[in-house]
Structure 1
Amino acid sequence: MKDLMGQAIWDFYHDNSPENLLTETSISEMDDLPVDYLFRDFDEMNLVEQKALELSKGKVLDIGAGAGSHSLYLQNEKGLDVLALDFSPKSIEVCQLRGVKKTVCSDMLQFSGETFDTVLLLMNGTGIFQSLDKIDIYLEKLHSLLNENGQILIDSTDILYMYDRADDGGVLVPTEHYYGEVDYFVHYKLDTEKPIKWLYLDFETLKRAVENNGFKIEKILQEEDSFLARLTKKDLN
């Protein structure tokens, strides 16, 4: 599998003629993603990310760490014990070079052996679930990674606004699948990756899924069409 996001991160860090990433989905046009955005500091992050980092505590697992910006803030500014996880080898290499002390290059589903007080899934973290029919597999895994009193901080965007409206005001969404399931494409330096499945969830759909998988959920913050949610384990008593 190509690692274009990781290559862009690596090029930017090493000043190796980096270019902007280009991203698109099956329902949206091509969009520029400046690589330096992945190296932003706390002040440049959006409110959802800032709130999630403020709420992070204890031993933290940062899933989809990318260039390590969230991990570095929690490690260096808050003094937390953070493990940065990403399946991109080049991204993890840059995390290490930037000073993240604990890293692992792995798919989330393949990672085990430790539990955490906080699990972070940011930058539309529900995307990692791929599709509604796989969400239970991922939530079961997340449940196993969490300490009894731990928390999962996850964000998403309700993308209903991206669909056209009918004359009667209804939204024209696909009938064959949930409207938040999209194909996500990454382009970099004239190269293109195979599309990945990406899942944007509205809050109510996420709520139903997590409650079926042993979690309680609360919405922490709503910022336009995006939101931050906190998942905790249901009491078994």
Structure 2
Amino acid sequence: MKDLFGKAILDFQTNNSPEDLITETTISEEDEMSVAYLFRSYDEMPQMEQKALQLAKGKILDVGCGAGSHSLSLQNERNLDVTSIDISSNAIQACTLRGLKKAKVQDVLTLENEKYDTILLLMNGAGMCGKLKNIPNFLLKLKSLLNPGGQILLDSSDIIYMFDDDDEDGGKWIPSQNEYYGEIIFNISYKGEKEKPFDWMFIDYNTLQNAALDNGFQCELILEGEHYDYLAKLSI
């Protein structure tokens, strides 16, 4: 991977002529994303993210922290103990420059010998599974990182609305090549460079709830957004 997403974050942080990221998926057209959005303050965050930060407590792990905005809010405004991890070295460099005390390049799947009270997976963090078949191992790994009474806070979307209606019975026409309709392939371009395409996933709440129950979690729907999005809490 060229780490273009992280490069855009670091360019923005260091005023190195940042440009918009160009994103495209198997179910959506090319779209421009302003990197500035990743640097939003608590007041600029959507209600769902604000609610997740309000519920965060104890020792916190922010997985896929990106530019670190969620972690910064918890560290600076609530004086909480936050560890921020991302597989992007450029993003972590930007987080450190922004003043995060515990930011490190780390894949959550290889994190060992640590325990947390809250694990954050915001901005569809569970999507890093890539495929629905990877969810059980992913959830079990997260479970191993939780203290007794710990919680996972994650948001995602049910992307069923992206598919065309079937005229005859009001159902949805969903392409059959995917095992699960929430699985997509993501493409990112930045400053004329293309990232290697990668798997990503949006998981609907019912599917998440079933996976959570199968792997020893309680699953609670905390908030539903206006556009098929939701915030959920998983606890043991």
Superposition TM-score, scaled by structure 1 size = 0.97
Instruction: Provide the residue aligned with 1:232 in structure 2.
Output: 235
Which residue among 197, 200, 205 is the counterpart of 1:198? 200
* 1:121 shift after superposition: 0.1
Instruction: Provide the residue aligned with 2:66 in structure 1.
Output: 66
Q: Give the partner amino acid of 1:196.
A: F
Instruction: Provide the residue aligned with 2:137 in structure 1.
Output: 137
Q: Give the partner amino acid of 2:72.
A: L
Q: Give the partner amino acid of 2:205.
A: F
Q: Deviations over 1:149-198 (max 9, x none)?
A: 01000010000000011112110012232100000111101111111111
Instruction: Provide the residue aligned with 1:218 in structure 2.
Output: 220
Aligned residue for 1:149, secondary structure, equals strand
Q: Deviations over 1:185-228 (max 9, x none)?
A: 11101111111111101100001111111100000000021000
Instruction: Provide the residue aligned with 1:52 in structure 2.
Output: 52
Aligned residue for 2:211, secondary structure, equals helix
What percentage of residue pairs aligned between the two structures are identical?
53
Instruction: Provide the residue aligned with 1:174 in structure 2.
Output: 175
Distance 1:82 1:180 in 2: 30
Aligned residue for 1:141, secondary structure, equals helix
Instruction: Provide the residue aligned with 2:188 in structure 1.
Output: 186
What 5-or-longer segments of structure 2 have no aligned partner? none
* 1:137 shift after superposition: 1.2
Superposed counterparts of 1:31-110, under 5 Å: 31-110=31-110
Superposition TM-score, scaled by structure 2 size = 0.97
**Which consecutive segments of 4 or more residues in structure 1 shift more than 2 A?**
none
Aligned residue for 1:72, secondary structure, equals helix
Distance 2:42 2:31 in 1: 23
* 1:97 shift after superposition: 0.7
Q: Give the partner amino acid of 2:71.
A: S
Q: Give the partner amino acid of 1:195.
A: P
Aligned residue for 2:114, secondary structure, equals coil
Aligned residue for 2:137, secondary structure, equals helix
Q: Cα RMSD over matched residues?
A: 0.8
* 1:83 shift after superposition: 0.2
* 1:59 shift after superposition: 0.4
Distance 1:66 1:14 in 2: 15
Distance 1:126 1:159 in 2: 14
* 1:68 shift after superposition: 0.6
Aligned residues: 233
Aligned residue for 2:231, secondary structure, equals strand
* 1:107 shift after superposition: 1.1
Q: Deviations over 1:13-45 (max 9, x none)?
A: 111110000111101011111010010001111
Distance 1:126 1:102 in 2: 22
Distance 1:111 1:196 in 2: 22
Distance 1:97 1:180 in 2: 35
Q: Give the partner amino acid of 1:173.
A: I
What 5-or-longer segments of structure 1 have no aligned partner? none
Aligned residue for 1:138, secondary structure, equals helix
Q: Give the partner amino acid of 2:231.
A: L
